[in-house]
Amino acid sequence: MEGGRVLTVLLLVLLLVGLAGSSPPPEPVVCAHGTSDCTVSNAYGSFPDRTVCHAANATFPRTEKELVAAVAVAVAAKRKVKVATKLSHSFPKLACPGGRDGTIISTERLNRVVSVDVAKGLMTVESGMVLRDLIEVAAEAGLALPHSPYWSGLTIGGLLATGAHGSSLKGKGGAVHEYVVGMRIVTPAPRSQGFAVVRQLCADHPDLDAAKVSLGVLGVVSQVTLALEPMFKRSVTFVTRNDSDMAEQAVVWGGLHEFGDMAWLPQQRNVIYRKDNRVAITSVGNDLNDYLALRSSSTADLISGRVMHELLLQQCLQHRAL
Ligand SMILES: Cc1cc2nc3c(=O)[nH]c(=O)nc-3n(C[C@H](O)[C@H](O)[C@H](O)COP(=O)(O)OP(=O)(O)OC[C@H]3O[C@@H](n4cnc5c(N)ncnc54)[C@H](O)[C@@H]3O)c2cc1C
Ligand SMILES: *[C@@H]1O[C@H](CO)[C@@H](O)[C@H](O)[C@H]1NC(C)=O
Ligand SMILES: *[C@@H]1O[C@H](CO)[C@@H](O)[C@H](O)[C@H]1NC(C)=O
């Protein structure tokens, strides 16, 4: 009995070691020869239509000057361009850069802080900067980005392009682009201007609202200036209730809690209400995040889940091979 169990566990472990190599997701931009013959995908390895985008070549500018040069070369040759990021976390591809004739411009190396003005609460960063790093640098200056998506593995350029948001009905709401007060964007230009120019959009520029959520089709965002707030903490508590009055509760809950949100679990007929409010930086919390999706699971459950997953995958692959 005991021996049989040990053997089963051993087999499961061997199966897992064999099948589930744990490696980070592949880089979204992969080139077969140096920076030529490239593909761009998302962090999941393929877009929802199970394809990747092809492009003739890719550039990885390190400065705004190099970015302008990259756009100019593409424009002069009438090539289509797609901006890719280091993380590529959007599911949809939106557009491919014109098959094997296009160019990928990656913001992977445009990831620096340009300036921080603590007195005015302003921070300017390059568009490839990862949200997690941005939040950390702001914190070192005693500043906070008041709203952000719930996942920090995104770039500021990528999350703005798709209008990414947190949750709030207060003030200007929970979308990050509401806190953008300046942008530098590189766009195509006539030959007389060298095929590419940097457009600087300040807070009062009429085009800033359009450029902020550009879906990546207006040019390459080089830098972003954000209006930050003095550092604060958030106090979060989850409350589970049934979903019978969910619709009426949406506005009520949003009015009660600055960062309130609701996660609906229709199969359980439940709603997880997130009580989420601003508190002073000196407040002491209990360091507990007991959100359902983040709770720990037993190793045995994880192993059996993974084994089931792999078996199903093998069956699918065999089926496809036939
Ligand atoms: C685990 C997870 C949790 C998430 N949570 C939330 C959430 O809470 N709220 C929410 O709103 N969203 C959320 N998202 C979605 C996420 O915010 C978007 O998919 C975001 O666009 C991804 O940013 P990225 O840096 O990976 O950009 P990418 O996916 O690489 O790019 C997105 C688009 O922007 C364009 N682009 C990128 N940089 C530039 C630039 N510098 N100039 C011009 N165009 C550019 C690209 O060409 C592409 O079309 C989540 C995603 C994941 C994976
Ligand atoms: C990309 O390829 C085209 C032609 O295939 C070439 O004209 C262009 O200079 C290349 N760009 C880079 C950055 O390599
Ligand atoms: C949902 O909860 C409320 C109390 O919060 C209760 O009055 C109601 O009967 C419950 N509805 C269902 C369907 O369980």
Gap from CA of 8 to ligand 2 centroid (Å): 55
Gap from CA of 304 to ligand 1 centroid (Å): 32
Ligand 2 pocket: which of 29, 33, 38, 57 to mutate (most atoms within 8 A of CB): 57
Q: What is the pLDDT of residues 130-181, one digit of tens each?
A: 999 999 999 999 999 999 999 999 999 999 999 999 999 999 999 999 999 9
Gap from CA of 269 to ligand 3 centroid (Å): 10
Nearest of 127, 117, 158 to residue 223 by alpha carbon: 127
Gap from CA of 230 to ligand 2 centroid (Å): 46
Query: Distances in Å between the alpha carbon of 130 and those of 117, 118, 164, 208, 219?
Result: 20, 20, 14, 22, 20
Q: With a 6 A CB cut-off, is 272 part of the ligand 2 pocket?
A: no
Record the tokens describing residue 22, joined without a space: 């744990």
> What does the alpha-carbon distance between residue 45 and residue 289 come to, in Å, rounded to a whole number?
30
Burial 17-50 (b: 16+ CB within 10 A, else e): eeeeeeeeeebbbebeeeeeebbbbbbeeebeee
> What does the alpha-carbon distance between residue 54 and residue 40 come to, in Å, rounded to a whole number?
7
Ligand in closest contact with the CA of 293 = 1
CATH class entry, domain 113-230: alpha beta
Gap from CA of 74 to ligand 2 centroid (Å): 8
What's the pTM value of the predicted model, to 2 decimals?
A: 0.85
Distance from CA of residue 141 to its chain's centroid? Answer: 23
**pLDDT tops 70 at residue 8:** no
Gap from CA of 245 to ligand 3 centroid (Å): 8
- According to DSSP, the residues that pair with 262 across neighbouring strands are 273
> What does the alpha-carbon distance between residue 48 and residue 42 come to, in Å, rounded to a whole number?
10
Q: What is the pLDDT of residues 20-69, one digit of tens each?
A: 455 666 789 999 999 999 999 988 888 888 888 999 999 999 999 999 99
The arithmetic mean of pLDDT across residues 271-288, rounded, is 91
**pLDDT cut 90: percent of the chain above it:** 72
**pLDDT cut 70: percent of the chain above it:** 87
**Predicted pLDDT at 10:** 44
> What does the alpha-carbon distance between residue 31 and residue 40 come to, in Å, rounded to a whole number?
9
**pLDDT tops 50 at residue 13:** no
Q: Which residues contact 317 (CB under 8 A, 6 or more apart)?
A: none
Residue 196 contacts residue 186 (beta carbons within 8 Å): yes
Domain boundaries, given as residue ranges, for the chain = 2-106, 113-230, 233-279
**Predicted pLDDT at 188:** 97
> What does the alpha-carbon distance between residue 37 and residue 56 come to, in Å, rounded to a whole number?
5
Q: Which pLDDT band, with edges at 50, 70 and 90, does 299 fall under? A: confident
Q: Which pLDDT band, with edges at 50, 70 and 90, does 304 fall under? A: confident
- According to DSSP, the residues that pair with 124 across neighbouring strands are 115, 225
Poorest-pLDDT segment among 5-9, 27-31, 298-302:
5-9
**pLDDT tops 50 at residue 113:** yes
* 31 membership: H or E segment, kind and range: strand 29-33
Query: What is 2-106's CATH number?
Result: 3.30.43
Record the tokens describing residue 187, joined without a space: 């766009």
Enumerate residues lining ligand 1, CB below 6 A: 82-85, 87-90, 94, 107, 127, 149-151, 154-155, 157-159, 161-162, 164-165, 216, 220-221
Q: Which pLDDT band, with edges at 50, 70 and 90, does 230 fall under? A: very high
- Cβ atoms < 10 Å from Cβ of 189: 18
Ligand 2 pocket: which of 33, 54, 60, 73 to mutate (most atoms within 8 A of CB): 73
Considering only CA atoms, which residue is closest to atom 1 of ligand 1? 151
The arithmetic mean of pLDDT across residues 186-209, rounded, is 97
Q: With a 6 A CB cut-off, is 73 part of the ligand 2 pocket?
A: yes
> What does the alpha-carbon distance between residue 85 and residue 127 come to, in Å, rounded to a whole number?
9
- According to DSSP, the residues that pair with 234 across neighbouring strands are 278
Q: With a 6 A CB cut-off, is 251 part of the ligand 2 pocket?
A: no
Residue 226: CA count within 13 A, CB half-sphere? 28
